Structure 1
Amino acid sequence: MSDVGLLLGVFSFLLLAGVSCANSMLLASLVSIWVTGFPVTMTADNMLGAINSFTLLAVPFFILAGVIMNRAGLTARLIDVSRAFVGHFHGGTAQVNVVASMFFSGISGSASADAAAIGSMLIPTMKREGYDPGFAAGVTASAATMGPIIPPSIVMVIYGSITNLSIGALFLAGILPGILIGVTLMLMVAYMSRRRGYPRAPRVGWTDRLRAIGAALPAVLAPVIILGGMFSGVATATEAGVIACVYGLFVGFFVYRDLRLADMPSLLADAVEMTAVPMYILATSSVFGFMLTAHGLGFMIGDFLSGITQDPLTFLLIIVALLTVVGIFLDGIAALLIVVPVFAPLVDVYHVDPLQFALIVIMTIMIGTVTPPVGMQLYIAAAIARIPIGRVVAWPFCWAMTGAVVILCFVPQLATFLPRLLLP
């Protein structure tokens, strides 16, 4: 068996045996290191080096900001604004779910935080209104994928740290594709809701809409402050995360007054727990990715693809197909950290814009977080809806989002227009 075959074989065996994705990567890497004679000390060096980064400090800060703003009442007010504008569409509360997720994506940067925050408020409401629990969970899980696509984005921070792409450029590149995902989900919700006869609310007048916007103005301003600080050059991504935390605390304590000092210990504990998972995955996947590179997987895949096509569009569609399969079996961040070092060098070979490629990779991998058996958002939404994951209606929304990814393959300007317009 080849070295790369041994590595992937052990990894696959451990996954099938029920070992977590992160531990499977670490154990498979240790077996490969022992068999091939690499120094075992490189494991600790790679794990520490992967997370010892100033750029990655943005990850815990954005997670903390999302937790603070959810506890501070910003999420509830964003839902009120969404309901005022789209509650009268077919499948009203499901449409509110999608739009509220778009708003909250501009605050948290995390799909899991989005699914938990929006889902805990809207899934019980949808069930009371007669929506099928599986449909409610599917909408929530799918809409949460916009969290890492619409800036700020924890996944984009990690992607930028791997490839040295500008995080600010990645943030700008994610705005239009993220909105496209939202539109495709809203169209699918409308189609399915009409067929299933789901309710919609009466149209709200502009007086009530303006009142809802006024009440939610501090929440709506949050992404403006976060992204404005970055794009104006005042703050880096890490510093923007700190600004988001401070702003959330200010709003929670002094504007909405939904936060108390007694809330801080549990709030910080939640943020630490949510940070530990992606950082551990990041550390273990760095070792796994190093071993894949050392065994020459990147060259093998490059030779394989070059033998199939020299066309950039065909290359991108093949990447989408491959990542769709990978996303079914791997956690989102783990998939990102494994495939990006392998595929990113091919961008220059096929003359693909790196921002377009980055968004295609991120969007496709996030769709994988809604598919069984390891889709994180799927488990969160199913737990809130109190149903087994087998009952979650996910695939129609996955196909809708995949359609958005295919559109991006054909229209790279969706990812490149804003960075070229706003960045020097």
Structure 2
Amino acid sequence: MSVTAWCLTAGFAGLVLLGFPFAIAIALAVTAALLLADIEPAFLAQAVISGSQQFSLLAIPLFMLAGELMTAGGLSRRLVDLAGTLVRHRTGGLAMVAVLAALVFSAISGSAPATTAAIGAILIPAMVQAGYDRGFAASIAVSAGVLGPLIPPSIAFVIWGIVAEQSIGRLFLSGIVPGLALALGLLVICWVHARRNGVPRLPRASLAETWAAFHQGKWALASPVLVLGGIYGGVFTPTEAAAISCVYALLVGLFIERQLKPAALPAIFARAMKTSAIVCAIIAVSAGFGILVAQEQIATRFAQWMAENVEQRWLALASLNLAFFLLAAVMDEIAIMVILGPMLIAIANRFGVDPIHFGAIIVTNVAIGMAAPPIGYCLFIGMAISGLSLGRIARAIWPMILLMLVVLFLTTYIPGFALMLQPAGR
């Protein structure tokens, strides 16, 4: 490899290991590569501007803001109450409430951390009080939050759609079946845990309670119907859907539920902006990184090496999944998608993998990374809510991680599993 290529690969890796934030590490690696290649450093500024001016990127801060507004406006509590009336009387019912509430909230926020925070803050203390082990309560909330990247509208699919230049709507569809399969598996784990540990069942909700919960939760349930119905009905794009979701959450929180106070809006906007800035900064500076990687033909050479040394497609996909799992344990998942995107796409093309199917594989990996020790974002949220150490939650979450790996296996090796909802003739 050339000196520039070494700077982009080993140099970037070294900066990350030294503890530099990913966006800064990328920017420094690109700047050093430009100087070594005798290219005008202003190239980086131009790349950052072009990389941050994509219309689809607007969906990321907007969906994050929508999730914050829904939580502050009390809609997450409505979802929990509704799910409770349906399954709380079953074995493991309260843990199942976390899964079902997260399933619906994921269709509002599109974010794993937002889903974990919204559902975990309510249900981790309630599960502990009901007799569940605190480690299990935290791990099921973290695992349920992982539904956020899989159930549309998903921020992870938006990012991959931008990186891979694929239809975001079709990518959304590819995550539904894996997401539902993961949710079903988590429900089974809840039942098994409660049965083994003798967790008492809660009383069955009366018909009047159930009807009241549906009536009070109707505005929360209407949000994913409005957003997803508008996207797949061709009324608006995913980015426009994110804006509509924000307006809907704001109006419902202020004027219908009346739990969202105008005085709280600056703090809500600030939280959403802070999280969005981290994501968008990585994407923006990665534009220059991607251009230099293409210029040095790093992705093409690696894909060619893999094609020459790995003959079977199943083995190539297994290698990618293993590499992604190991990287996600120590590196930001969004950074992996953006930085390694060209290389991953080149390998998928080399082995003839359908681009939408490959997007489902990548985002399922991203979902696992959100919960995988030691740096999964959702793990830290679970730690903050439960007061447990990382090691305590990590020991409790491995059954859920194994379930996620089973879903990843099905997504990877049975294309129809992820593609069964794709429009006919596509």
TM-score by length of 2: 0.93
Q: Could you tell me which residue of structure 2 aligns to residue 149 of structure 1? A: 150
Structure 2 letter corresponding to 1:68: L
User: Larger deviation: 289-298 or 269-278?
Assistant: 289-298
- Are the aligned partners of 1:88 and 1:203 in contact in 2 as well (CA < 8 Å)? yes
User: Larger deviation: 79-88 or 20-29?
Assistant: 20-29
Which SS does the other structure have where 2:371 is aligned?
coil
**Structure 2: 5+ residue stretches without partners:** none
User: Larger deviation: 182-191 or 57-66?
Assistant: 182-191
- Are the aligned partners of 2:139 and 2:397 in contact in 1 as well (CA < 8 Å)? yes
- Are the aligned partners of 2:175 and 2:418 in contact in 1 as well (CA < 8 Å)? yes
Which SS does the other structure have where 1:394 is aligned?
helix
Deviation at 1:165, TM superposition (A): 0.9
Which whole-Å CA distance do the structure 2 matches of 1:2 and 1:192 have between them? 54
Q: Could you tell me which residue of structure 1 aligns to residue 196 of structure 2? A: 195
Which whole-Å CA distance do the structure 2 matches of 1:292 and 1:190 have between them? 48
**Structure 1: 5+ residue stretches without partners:** none
Q: Could you tell me which residue of structure 1 aligns to residue 94 of structure 2? A: 93
Say yes or no: does 1:404 pair with 2:407.
yes
Structure 2 letter corresponding to 1:108: S
Q: Could you tell me which residue of structure 2 aligns to residue 139 of structure 1? A: 140
Q: Could you tell me which residue of structure 1 aligns to residue 418 of structure 2? A: 415
- Are the aligned partners of 2:325 and 2:369 in contact in 1 as well (CA < 8 Å)? yes
Which whole-Å CA distance do the structure 2 matches of 1:416 and 1:94 have between them? 30
Distance 1:385 1:290, change over 3 A: farther
Which whole-Å CA distance do the structure 1 matches of 2:23 and 2:124 have between them? 30
Distance 1:205 1:326, change over 3 A: same
Deviation at 1:207, TM superposition (A): 4.3
- Are the aligned partners of 2:109 and 2:115 in contact in 1 as well (CA < 8 Å)? yes
- Are the aligned partners of 2:88 and 2:204 in contact in 1 as well (CA < 8 Å)? yes
Matches within 5 A, 1:3-402: 3=3, 4-392=5-393, 393-402=396-405
Residue deviations 1:74-104 (CA, integer Å, cap 9, x gap): 1001111211222234333222111111110
Deviation at 1:61, TM superposition (A): 1.4
Deviation at 1:381, TM superposition (A): 1.2
Residue deviations 1:132-154 (CA, integer Å, cap 9, x gap): 33222222222111112101111
- Are the aligned partners of 2:325 and 2:365 in contact in 1 as well (CA < 8 Å)? yes
Question: What is the aligned-residue identity percentage?
Answer: 35
Distance 1:293 1:137, change over 3 A: farther
Which SS does the other structure have where 1:102 is aligned?
helix
Structure 2 letter corresponding to 1:371: A
Question: RMSD of aligned C-alpha atoms?
Answer: 2.1
Residue deviations 1:340-373 (CA, integer Å, cap 9, x gap): 2211133333222211110110111221121233
Distance 1:346 1:245, change over 3 A: same
Residue deviations 1:162-188 (CA, integer Å, cap 9, x gap): 222111111122211111121122223
Which whole-Å CA distance do the structure 1 matches of 2:36 and 2:20 have between them? 21
Structure 2 letter corresponding to 1:37: D
Distance 1:39 1:374, change over 3 A: farther
Deviation at 1:327, TM superposition (A): 0.9
Distance 1:196 1:227, change over 3 A: same
Which whole-Å CA distance do the structure 1 matches of 2:319 and 2:364 have between them? 15
Which whole-Å CA distance do the structure 2 matches of 1:83 and 1:100 have between them? 9
Deviation at 1:324, TM superposition (A): 0.8
- Are the aligned partners of 1:371 and 1:378 in contact in 2 as well (CA < 8 Å)? yes
Deviation at 1:2, TM superposition (A): 4.6
- Are the aligned partners of 2:108 and 2:223 in contact in 1 as well (CA < 8 Å)? yes
Residue deviations 1:46-90 (CA, integer Å, cap 9, x gap): 222211111111111111111111111110011112112222343
User: Larger deviation: 355-364 or 130-139?
Assistant: 130-139
Which whole-Å CA distance do the structure 2 matches of 1:276 and 1:304 have between them? 36
Structure 1 letter corresponding to 2:71: N
User: Larger deviation: 354-363 or 340-349?
Assistant: 340-349
- Are the aligned partners of 1:184 and 1:404 in contact in 2 as well (CA < 8 Å)? no
- Are the aligned partners of 2:88 and 2:97 in contact in 1 as well (CA < 8 Å)? yes
Which whole-Å CA distance do the structure 1 matches of 2:192 and 2:47 have between them? 48
Which whole-Å CA distance do the structure 2 matches of 1:181 and 1:150 have between them? 10
TM-score by length of 1: 0.93
Deviation at 1:22, TM superposition (A): 2.7
- Are the aligned partners of 1:92 and 1:199 in contact in 2 as well (CA < 8 Å)? no
Which whole-Å CA distance do the structure 1 matches of 2:108 and 2:143 have between them? 18
Distance 1:338 1:257, change over 3 A: same
Which whole-Å CA distance do the structure 2 matches of 1:56 and 1:171 have between them? 16
